[in-house]
Amino acid sequence: MTGGPGPELRTARLLLRRWRDTDRDPFARLNADPAVMEHFPATLSTDESERFASRIEEVFDLQGFGLWAVEVPGVASFIGFIGLSQPQFDAAFTPCVEIGWRLAAEHWGRGYASEGAQAVLEFGFHHLELDEIVSFTTVANDKSQRVMQKIGMHRDPAEDFDHPATPGWHGQRHVLYRLTDWDWWQRRARS
């Protein structure tokens, strides 16, 4: 599964890179953690996690971007993923490019998600020249919503939606956040 060449993104503390075979076991543990998966319909089995990791690599090979494995050099070789994807369901805001993250619980509260997300936004707007990037999560996922706000995304409550892939699930109602390239460049100019 070792990922081929592809863009690596670096921040002050993080390396966002292609996946390695050694990432699969910690990824399976992360996906089996009820705390990490609290805002998803269920945890993932080892087989489901393996298939997900394989899909991540396939998408990277096809598109040249995707969900980067996150490493904290000198601290942890794999803590989860941060990256871009294209949702495969129909909604008022699709087709689109989504930014998302999933980090192991022991690495929460350190600002890694927002730090890595800033690098991913830079890649999306600067290198891919995207017009807009969205993010969404369940209404109850305050932690992810705080990251979305911290990275400059905005929510219009009128755009909240029922996720079509989770009918009947108590977390089906989702919030949608957006960031346009204009807002991104304006924010960068001010900082």
User: What CA–CA distance (Å, rounded) separates 66 from 68?
Assistant: 6
Count: domains in the chain: 1
pLDDT (0 to 100) of residue 5: 56
Q: How many residues does the chain have?
A: 191
Span 68-97, average pLDDT: 97
- Weakest-pLDDT range from 75-84, 93-102, 123-132, 165-174: 165-174
Closest CA to 35 of 135, 110, 103: 103
User: What CA–CA distance (Å, rounded) separates 24 from 15?
Assistant: 17
| Statement: residue 154 has pLDDT above 80 | yes
- Tell whether 48 is covered by a domain: yes
- Tell whether 4 is covered by a domain: no
| Statement: residue 95 has pLDDT above 90 | yes
Q: How confident is the model at residue 191 (pLDDT cuts 50, 70, 90)?
A: confident
In the numeric block, which tokens belong to residue 62? 């096809």
3-state secondary structure of 137: strand
- Domain interval for residue 118: 9-190
| Domain CATH number, residue 62 | 3.40.630.30
In the numeric block, which tokens belong to residue 152? 């400059």
- Tell whether 2 is covered by a domain: no
- Tell whether 33 is covered by a domain: yes
Share of the chain above pLDDT 90, in %: 89
- Tell whether 106 is covered by a domain: yes
Check if the beta carbon of residue 39 is closer than 8 Å to that of residue 171: yes
- Tell whether 3 is covered by a domain: no
User: What CA–CA distance (Å, rounded) separates 64 from 127?
Assistant: 11
Among all chains, which residue has been given the structure tokens 């993250």? Answer: 101
| Statement: residue 167 has pLDDT above 90 | no
Q: What is the pTM of this model?
A: 0.94
Is beta strand 173-180 parallel, antiparallel or unpaired with respect to 9-10?
A: unpaired
- Weakest-pLDDT range from 15-29, 90-104, 118-132, 160-174: 160-174
Tell which wins on pLDDT, 166 or 138. 138
- Tell whether 1 is covered by a domain: no
Sign for the CA dihedral angle at 30, 61, 19, 22 comes to positive
pLDDT (0 to 100) of residue 1: 37
- Tell whether 160 is covered by a domain: yes
